[in-house]
Amino acid sequence: ELIEILAISRNQKLPQPGEESQILELLIQRDGEFQELMKLALDQGKIHHEMQLLEKVVEKRDSDIQQLQKQLKEAEHILATAVYQAKEKLKSIEKARKGAISSEEIIKYAHRISASNAVCAPLTWVPGDPRRPYPTDLEMRSGLLGQMNNPSTNGVNGHLPGDALAAGRLPDVLAPQYPWQSSDISMNMLPPNHSNDFMLEPPGHNKENEDDVEVMSTDSSSSSSDSD
Amino acid sequence: METDDTGNRLRFQLELEFVQCLANPNYLNFLAQRGYFKDKSFVNYLKYLLYWKEPEYAKYLKYPQCLHMLELLQYEHFRKELVNAQCAKFIDEQQILHWQHYSRKRMRLQQALAEQQQQNNTSVK
């Protein structure tokens, strides 16, 4: 349009040829620049469009990754639980194996402690029967411990040695047999051997629940524990 | 070496007997009244005797209930209480009652069975 107007004005206004050509040139320049800018805008539009597509793709990938992350977390949780439970099972297996005793031994022991009425009263027990769930006075005296010292007191139990019933019974020996005589016991079986005296206080002795305190030895001081 | 071995065997037998004597509450009362529980070396000895809890030693015990008494004896409060005769008497009574538990249970079962049989007989008639 401008060019047409200029052309018309050029026809009408002859005395300004120099300026017109300058303006025309400027116009042409501007038009060229404008065209270029248009192209640039088009390109930018395309690029923008592509960017939007890529953004969508990126979003999709992000959500995929998050989904995967969730699944991995779940899997880890399940595996961790499974591993933990397996470890617990192993622990209990180990524990059971450690405490394994042959059933025969258990039966023998159960028989031994029940047959002597040590843990279960005899069926005919009535008050007045001198038998007890613990070693009685008579039994204590007739054992090795009693033989070592002269008995000086009477009837700790309230059962006097002159008790007719008691006298009629054979003294019960406390140790059921003497397995050490058949050399069942190796040196490992004997009571823990120590080098110190009982007089020494172990560390933390005053605490009632202390379990891991070092134990002291017997030697000759153990004789102080014998009853008289 | 031999004397050492016999010495150890003797010690084993003595400690076996002694630890089982601890199942007797009257004996514990006796020891408490004579002040043995106040002697630190005696208390240490009681702690040492805890080795009887191990299965390889416990299998020699005829009166395994002594282990429970031994565990209780580790507590000073228990040792102090044992000076009272009533305390020892109470423990004695409870021990005897517990000892009779199974025979009483069996008697009850037998009684129940006898009653049931009687009922069956009367209903048949």
pLDDT in tens, A49-95: 999 999 999 999 999 999 999 999 999 999 999 999 999 999 999 99
Note whether A100 contacts B: Cβ–Cβ < 8 A.
no
- The mean pLDDT of A6-19, rounded to a whole number, is 72
Q: For residue A201, is it within any domain?
A: no
Closest residue by Cα to residue B17 from A86, A136, A44, A65: A136
Q: Determine the pLDDT at residue B2.
A: 65
Note whether B105 contacts A: Cβ–Cβ < 8 A.
no
- The mean pLDDT of B67-88, rounded to a whole number, is 93
pLDDT in tens, A162-172: 333 333 333 33
Q: Which of residues 5-64 of B touch A (CB under 8 A)?
A: 5, 8-18, 20-21, 23-27, 30-31, 36, 39-45, 47-48, 50-51, 55-57, 59-60, 62-64
Of B20, B74, B102, the CB nearest to A135: B20
B1 pLDDT band, cuts 50/70/90, is low
pTM over 0.80: no
pLDDT in tens, A135-162: 888 888 888 888 876 554 444 444 433 3
Chain B residues inside the 8 Å CB shell of A208: 74-77
How many domains does chain B fold into?
A: 1
Chain A residue nearest residue B105, CA to CA: A123
Helix locations, A99-158, DSSP H: 103-115, 137-142, 144-148
b/e per residue, B35-74, with b = 16+ CB within 10 A? Answer: ebbebebbbbbbbbbbebeeeebebbbbbbbbbebbebbb
Chain B residues inside the 8 Å CB shell of A97: none
Q: Determine the pLDDT at residue A169.
A: 34
Of A118, A134, A218, the CB nearest to B11: A218
Count of alpha carbons within 13 angstroms of residue A123, beta-carbon side: 6
Q: Which residues pair with B62 in a beta bridge?
A: none
How many domains does chain A fold into?
A: 1
Joined together, the tokens standing for residue A128 give 């007045």
Q: For residue A55, is it within any domain?
A: yes
Helix locations, chain B, DSSP H: 2-21, 25-33, 40-48, 55-58, 65-73, 76-81, 85-99, 101-124
Mean pLDDT of chain B: 90
Q: For residue A203, is it within any domain?
A: no
Note whether A24 contacts B: Cβ–Cβ < 8 A.
no
Q: For residue A83, is it within any domain?
A: yes
Q: What is the CATH number of the domain that holds B63?
A: 1.10.10.1340
The C-alpha R_g of chain A, in whole angstroms, comes to 53
Distance CA A1, CA A8 (A): 11
Residue A121 has pLDDT above 70, yes or no: yes
Q: For residue A111, is it within any domain?
A: no
> Worst-scoring range by mean pLDDT, A2-11, A24-33, A198-207, B92-101?
A198-207
Q: For residue A9, is it within any domain?
A: no
Of B50, B59, B103, the CB nearest to A121: B103
Q: For residue A202, is it within any domain?
A: no
Distance CA B15, CA B58 (A): 12
Mean pLDDT of chain A: 72
Q: Determine the pLDDT at residue A140.
A: 87
- Which residue segment(s) compose the domain that B82 sits in? 1-124
Most confident segment among A118-122, B67-71, B104-108: B67-71
CB B74 within 8 A of CB B46: yes
CA-CA-CA-CA torsion for A182, A188, A191, A193, nearest 10 degrees?
A: 130
- Which residue segment(s) compose the domain that A53 sits in? 20-99
Chain A residues inside the 8 Å CB shell of B4: none
Q: For residue A208, is it within any domain?
A: no
